[in-house]
Amino acid sequence: MLSISNLHVSVGDKPILKGLTLDVPAGEVHAIMGPNGAGKSTLGYALSGRPGYEATEGAVAWKGADLLALDPAERAAKGVFLSFQYPLEIPGVPAMTFIRTALNAQKRARGEEEVSAPAFLKLVRAASTALKMDFDMLKRPLNVGFSGGEKKRMEILQMALLEPSLLILDETDSGLDIDALRIVADGVNAMRSPDRSMLVITHYQRLLDYIKPDRVHVLVGGRIVASGGPELAHALEAEGYDQYMVQAA
Amino acid sequence: MNAPVRIDLKDVETIPSRRTEAWKYSDLRRWLRDEPPLSPALPEGEPNDGPFKALTVNEVLIANGRLNWWSEDAMEAGIEVSHHAGPDAPRTADEMPMGALAAAKALDGVHIITFKTGAPHVLALRLLSDAVKTGHHARIGVVVEAGAHATLLESHEGRGEAYLSNTLLEIIVEESATLERIVLIDEPHDAISVSSAEVRLSKNAAYHQTIAASGAKLQRLETRIAHAGEGATVRMDGLYALSGDRHTDLTSVVDHLAPDGLTSQLTKGVVRDTARGVFQGKIIVERGADGTDARMGHHALILGERGEIDAKPELIIYADDVQCAHGNTVGNLDESALFYMQQRGIPADEARALLTEAFLIEVVDRIAHEGAREVARTWLTDRL
């Protein structure tokens, strides 16, 4: 279970998260919805340890570990995976090399046996077929020259191969047309499992038609101001965030 | 303009210093105050060794400035090694004072390697320095005869400490001949070394060069290329990976004297700690050299707070109908990319090494000789 209590995070001198408390039990999918500037992306970065996103107060417990004490790679080895809103381009590093390096680094950190090149190739072929990806794309430098949809698919592919236990999807639907969205959502849904927690960060309700959350939380002004079932997402879509903005202000 | 210098190591005032424009980032006078004693002759060295040993049996080994060994018995037909007293000074003596000094001081005169027409030739040229606080000079000529094709695998293998090594190569690529010269340089951190190359290209000749350097106390690799004949092609690349307090200086002048010449130059480097990388690249397109296409790029990374890069790219164009461009960037690794890689589980140091290698590998990929390319790749990854 992911347990966030009273988390305060500043970027530079500016407080963004101001006492965020949230529990995500294993096996559940929780959606975080909120207006622009509410701190949605900051939450994803703070959980994954991005430099410059400093936790000034509060705690994050994940699988019995104090997540905030770990560096980003250690958190990844613990199963934390952040799917980026804008995945980075890594010139000169073929996608396949990148993923295998990451997978084996994680395995090393966990004291597991590394995956051999032929075994990895097999895994990649299967995973890329499932995501309807052109296998040749994996020989190209990671994300370089990829379209928005291809980059998101590449995120899902990495997710499928790295098998994280805590998935954080940051605005995964941005830049996707309906077909791409469906493929990406199918990929995410295939990852649902009783020992995996997911945090789906989104501005719009649209994504939640495809990835059905167990719980929906409203993030405004750096705090969770309301929580509810999937119906809350529909209410937000109809009524907007205004009522909560007043409340937060 | 500075007046031509004739270096006399006994007169410190004649040694180029930071007040000399062409040497302002490589203050030779600061480190070379006196003439070091002559390096000793070495017993017959270790033939068929060096970084390129797996690629060819054809080898010329120069040790402490003297011809030490060459594969006379095994040398394939079409490669000749001869010895000459040599003319007094190289053509570009005024511009390359250390090259002129090498010509004047070389113990053996000049050794000339000639590649004849026929099957493509590969030769390892090893320049071994095994000396402590002494100095040596060498002069080598390379002739690629009309229509011949050759790969010169040059290694500067330094042992000992605080020596002065000074080398001059004079290279002639005749009509429709090609030469690829790959240079790997490894020297002690306290060595002073200067290697000057003068290259003359005839009509439709091709000259491809890659220098990979890891620095020394002061290390300068200078290349001067003349497109003397029309339609010649040049690829001239550099790669440096420096750490500690090492210094390397890649200086080049490409002079387009004839029409329709092509020059493609790419230098990339990385410095750490207090290391210092210097790139000075000059391309001149003379009047009448129409149809010239010349491109120069220098891109470097400074990892850490105290490294230094000095870059001076210059294009000087006197012809009208030309295409020329240059680009120069100095930066750090992309922090967002680093975080992205760490987020996927790659530890920070490994992520940095991977990104740095990815940045530099473009230079290695441009090497045509496959075996040399792999040697250069290993050389690079070992230094990241």
ipTM of this complex? 0.95
pLDDT for the residue numbered A173? 84
Q: Do A90 and B339 touch (CB under 8 A)?
A: no
Which of the four pLDDT bands, split at 50, 70 and 90, describes residue B5? low
Task: Look at residues A48, A79, A74, A46 and name the one whose alpha carbon lies nearest to residue A63.
Answer: A79
The pLDDT of residue B4:
58
Question: What chain A residue is nearest to B363 in terms of C-alpha separation?
Answer: A92
Return the closest-CA partner of residue B50 out of B37, B35, B69, B34: B69
Global confidence as pTM: 0.87
Among all residues of chain B, which has the CA nearest to that of A143? B337
Chain B, 312 to 371: residues with Cβ < 8 Å from chain A are: 334-337, 339-348, 350-351, 354-355, 357-359, 361-362
Residue contact B339–A50, C-beta within 8 A: yes
Predicted confidence band at A249 (pLDDT cuts at 50, 70, 90)? low
Give the residue-averaged pLDDT of B2-10. 75
HEC assignment per residue over chain A: CEEEEEEEEEECCEEEEEEEEEEECCCCEEEEECCCCCCHHHHHHHHHCCCCEEEEEEEEEECCEEHHHCCHHHHHHCCEEEECCCCCCCCCCEHHHHHHHHHHHHHHHCCCCCCCHHHHHHHHHHHHHHCCCCHHHHHCECCCCCCHHHHHHHHHHHHHHHCCCEEEEECCCCCCCHHHHHHHHHHHHHCCCCCCEEEEEECCCHHHHHCCCCEEEEEECCEEEEEECCHHHHHHHHHCCHHHHHHHC
> What CA–CA distance (Å, rounded) separates A62 from A80?
9
User: Domain map of chain B by residue range?
Assistant: 12-334
Test mutation, A83, A86, A98, chain B, max B CBs within 10 A = A98
For chain A, which residues make up each domain, given as ranges?
A: 2-248
Q: What is the distance, to the nearest Å, from the Cα of residue B165 to the centroid of all Cα atoms in its chain?
A: 14
Q: Is residue A247 predicted with pLDDT exceeding 70?
A: no
Name chain B contacts of A98, Cβ cutoff 8 Å: 341, 344
Residues of B in contact with A49 (CB under 8 A): 342-343
CA–CA min distance B343, chain A (Å)? 5
- Per-residue pLDDT tens over the stretch B198-246: 999 999 999 999 999 999 999 999 999 999 999 999 999 999 999 999 9
Give A142 to chain B, closest Cα distance, Å: 11
Mean pLDDT of A220-232: 94
Kindly identify which residue of chain B lies nearest to residue A94, measuring between CA atoms: B358
pLDDT digits (tens, 9 = 90+) for A176-197: 888 888 888 998 999 999 999 9
Do residues A18 and A41 lie in contact, with contact meaning Cβ atoms separated by under 8 Å? no
Minimum CA–CA partner of B358 in chain A? A92
pLDDT tens digit string along B151-176? 999 999 999 999 999 999 999 999 99
CA distances from A240 to A204, A207, A222, A246, B182 (A): 10, 16, 17, 12, 65
Rounded CA gap, B147 and B154, in Å? 22
Give the model's pLDDT for residue B1: 41
* Joined tokens for residue A118: 């032929």
A215-220 β-sheet, strand order: A80-83, A166-170, A197-202, A29-33, A215-220, A223-228
Q: Closest Cα to residue A80, out of A179, A186, A169, A201?
A: A169
pLDDT digits (tens, 9 = 90+) for A109-165: 999 999 999 999 999 999 999 888 899 999 999 999 998 889 999 999 999 999 999
Q: May I ask the CATH architecture of the domain A2-248? A: 3-Layer(aba) Sandwich (3.40)
Residue among A229, A141, A147 at smallest CA distance from A184 = A147
Q: Do the chains contact at B358 and A92, CB–CB below 8 Å?
A: yes
d(CA A9, CA A39): 9
Distance from CA of A27 to the nearest CA of B (A): 22
- pLDDT at position A243, please? 84
Q: Which three-class secondary structure state does DSSP give residue B369?
A: coil
- Looking at the complex, report in whole angstroms how far the Cα of residue B38 sits from the nearest Cα belonging to chain A: 46
> At residue B30, does pLDDT exceed 80?
yes
* Residue A245, pLDDT score: 79
Q: Which of B340, B349, B356 to mutate to test the interface with A (most CBs of A within 10 A)?
A: B340
Cross-chain Cβ contact B345/A158 below 8 Å: no
Q: Residue B373 burial (CB < 10 Å; 0-12/13-18/19+)?
A: middle
Q: Which chain A residue's Cα is nearest to B337? A: A88
Query: Which residue among B341, B345, B362 places its CB closest to the CB of A162?
Result: B345
Find all residues with CB under 8 Å of B278, minimum gap 6, and list them: B25, B26, B220, B247, B248, B249, B250, B251, B309, B310, B311
The pLDDT tens digits for A42-98 are: 999 999 999 999 999 999 999 889 999 999 999 999 999 999 999 999 988 999 999
Give the mean pLDDT of A218-223.
Answer: 95
